[in-house]
Amino acid sequence: MLPPLPDILSTLRVVSLPMTHRFRGIDVREVALFEGPAGWTEFSPFVEYDTAEASAWLTAALDFGWQQTPAIFRSSIRVNATMPVVDSSRVPEVLARFPGCRTVKIKVADPGQGLTDDVARVAAVRKYVGPEGRIRVDANGLWTVDEAERAIHALAEFDLEYVEQPCETVEELADIRSRVAYMGVPIAADESVRKAEDPARVARVGAADLLVVKAQPLGGIRRALDVIEEAGLPVVVSSALETSVGISMGAYLGAAIDTLPYDCGLATVSLLTSDITAEPLLPHAGTIDVRRVVPDPELLDRFAAEPAREAWWRGRIVDSYRFLDDALAAQRPSE
């Protein structure tokens, strides 16, 4: 059952947070926040997502705000630093925002740059973290299989922990995984999990060595745990560029997984110039705490979105809510 729509909208706050560096093509992150019986929750699908895709994010927000979280195995989560597409000279500046993180995820395959730029950025990160640091790269599915093979060959000398979503389709992931298997470079699936109608398919067809899972796109903590169980692969819990409220949801997901071998991508509040809480979930000694987050009223006011943008997000919640309500109605047995 869905909570009443007026209950959701009565506490709605929409904020617009500037970012430290351009990331995922945006300079400002807009999110919607509201409070449920279990605490504050976040609804923040990216603006280009349609109602069907956004409805999974609303499911997650309602689950986190209206239901108690599952039992947890840990009170803190080891996290990785995230390196946006910046010039290699700026690597130390970015990584200084992630104190104690031993792992760095580096964005590559940006349309505005080439492989030479990627190699330079990865080399700068390796120099910064030293031989003991862990490096993973994320192409967001932007390489063809041949481009991915060439890039992985070029980057392999930097001792990659894994390559995340090198190609777009599950079939392409399976192909590149077979091509680079002899190199010992694991392939991780992200978009092929969170944007798929069948998130576990990538595991069944042998297209990945591990999964990157995100609570909001998968419909919440419980649905993500179901995907993880069905897939049977190691996982990295990651974020979707959220405020600390959304990161908290991801932290509880990571804490509810019994075995968590990889550092998680839950330190992305460091990519925002500010947050909506006086106690943000920023990394300390390479970890973040597993806890609920309460927004600060003064910060909510300071970063409040323009009225037109708040109205847009309100309408988006209404549309996503109706989509979910219609889906639930279709599942009910007819009288």
3-state secondary structure (DSSP) of residue 24: coil
Report the alpha-carbon distance of residue 238 to residue 51 in Å, rounded: 22
Both tokens of residue 127?
């120099």
Task: Print the SS3 string covering 205-271.
Answer: CCCCCEEEEECCCCCCHHHHHHHHHHHCCCEEEECCCCCHHHHHHHHHHHHCCCCCCCCEECCHHHH
**Which one is catalytic: 105, 127, 195, 214?**
214
| Residue at 233: amino acid letter | L
3-state secondary structure (DSSP) of residue 136: strand
Is residue 296 a known part of a binding site? no
Write b or e for each residue in 117-154: b if 16 or more Cβ atoms lie within 10 A of its Cβ, otherwise e.
bbbebbbbbbebbeeebbbbbbbbbbbebebbbebbee
Write b or e for each residue in 17-50: b if 16 or more Cβ atoms lie within 10 A of its Cβ, otherwise e.
bebebebeeeeebbbbbbbbeebbbbbbbbeebe
Report the alpha-carbon distance of residue 84 to residue 131 in Å, rounded: 21
3-state secondary structure (DSSP) of residue 122: helix
Is residue 190 a known part of a binding site? yes
Both tokens of residue 183?
């190199």
Q: Is 195 considered catalytic here?
A: no
Report the alpha-carbon distance of residue 63 to residue 328 in Å, rounded: 15
- Compute the C-alpha angle 264/268/273, nearest 5°: 165
**Which one is catalytic: 105, 107, 127, 195?**
107
Report the alpha-carbon distance of residue 22 to residue 136 in Å, rounded: 20
Q: Is 214 considered catalytic here?
A: yes
Is residue 138 a known part of a binding site? yes
Closest to 192 (Cα-Cα) out of 162, 166, 169, 164: 169
What residues are designated binding site for Mg(2+)?
Answer: 138, 164, 190
- The set of catalytic residues is 107, 214
